[in-house]
Amino acid sequence: MHFISGNQIQLLRSGIEYFPALEHAIDHAQHDIYIQTYIYEADEIGTRIGNAMINAVNRGVSVYLLIDGFGSKTLPKTYIESLESAGVNVMVYRQKISPWTFKKNRLRRLHQKVAVIDGIVAFVGGINIIDDHNVPHQTAPRIDYAVRVQGALLPTISNNVKKLWQRLAWLHFHSKPVLTPDTHAPVHSTKESIKAAFVTRDNILHRRDIEAAYLKAIHSAKHEIMIANAYFIPGRRFRKALISAAKRGVKVKLLLQGRKEYFLMFATHAFYHVFLKNGIEIYEYRKSFMHSKVAVIDQEWATIGSSNIDPFSLFLAREANIIVKDKYFATTLHQDILTAIHDGAYEIKVNDWAKGNIAKRFLSWVAYGLVRLFLGIIGYADQH
């Protein structure tokens, strides 16, 4: 992980701030646009972004859209064809999905959400191309985060995105952009001069990079660790690091999803007792649907991205996070998480949990047992 100074980084809160910023960047693109997303829905937001991409093509801009085959499985084929017929290059990551056959590589999804425009502005975060109010069986709108990045970190982000497209294009016999340096992209520092790193997770050279970045920051924490994560099923090393931090006097706060989408999300509850017993504060966000994947440590270190703290993100999926070392940025995100805690979260108390519903605790261990079984099947049980 390499931190680079000279960046301008803007925090974007949920779709209400993210989509107008992304759309504005697309509308002003002159050379090329790369967008990677796990979920793309043909709802109001997806249609807006799709129209912006088509308009860019009509201006002579090359547009490359990469979507995940599972996350975007409900996207109509006719919609994809309409984008392609308009000149948008579309690829589907691991498109073949079958409930009747099990192949480990099909679990390795494209979960990162990155956009790069002209090599001069990038967006990285946890926000899919989907309307914030499109949350079936949940209270809308969802809360999530992304960042808008300009400055010296752009070549790193741009090269990562372009290389992935080129690699997949060879496999798909698809249109292959020529990987040339972004000569139109300034690499000098911006006036804000924020220090940041672009950290990815893949299944080749960067399997543990995001987890390692988290663990390094947690081990060096002196005052406070605040994590807001929608899908939180940490492995042994992560759990031990948090407990160790709490034991040495660091205040540890977890803001977790209070509304369960899937049965396996109950596995998170399996850790509640040991965390609470060691002084870790746990809050469940229940006001609406929380999709955040962010953290702030000592109000100096912050991360925003696509990576959850669960086996899917840490062992299988392609993920991308931005890590920022800047007091003002970290303090801003810290305050945002605090606001979410105060306005929409319920604190889980150790006594309440210990005396709570026995059936609920049993359910959590059944869910965690299934997670462990799944990890054993794919060969990762010893790492969790």
- Taking a C-beta distance cutoff of 8 angstroms, is the pair 228, 340 a contact? yes
Instruction: Check whether the bond before 177 is cis (ω within 30° of 0).
Output: no
Place of tokens 């794919």: 378
**DSSP-derived 3-state class of residue 127:** coil
Please confirm, yes or no, whether 298 is among the known catalytic residues.
Answer: yes
Please confirm, yes or no, whether 104 is among the known catalytic residues.
Answer: no
The token pair at 274 is 């040991």
The token pair at 45 is 């937001």
Q: Which is the catalytic residue, given 32, 144, 182, 298?
A: 298
Q: Which is the catalytic residue, given 118, 131, 182, 326?
A: 118
Cβ neighbors of 58 (< 8 A, separation 6 or more) are: 86, 87
Please confirm, yes or no, whether 219 is among the known catalytic residues.
Answer: no
Q: Which is the catalytic residue, given 162, 291, 334, 384?
A: 291
Please confirm, yes or no, whether 133 is among the known catalytic residues.
Answer: no
Please confirm, yes or no, whether 202 is among the known catalytic residues.
Answer: no
The token pair at 39 is 């979920």
116 bridge partner residues: 34, 122
Task: Give the Cα separation of 182 and 180 in Å (integer).
Answer: 6
Please confirm, yes or no, whether 118 is among the known catalytic residues.
Answer: yes
Report CA 322 to chain centroid distance, whole Å. 10
Among residues 73, 82, 72, the alpha carbon closest in space to that of 36 is found at 72
- Taking a C-beta distance cutoff of 8 angstroms, is the pair 64, 92 a contact? no
Q: Which is the catalytic residue, given 162, 253, 293, 334?
A: 293
Sign for the pseudo-dihedral over CA of 70, 75, 76, 78: negative
- Taking a C-beta distance cutoff of 8 angstroms, is the pair 65, 87 a contact? no
Q: Which is the catalytic residue, given 113, 253, 334, 384?
A: 113
Among residues 332, 304, 330, 334, the alpha carbon closest in space to that of 319 is found at 304
Q: Which is the catalytic residue, given 32, 68, 111, 326?
A: 111
Residues with catalytic function: 111, 113, 118, 291, 293, 298
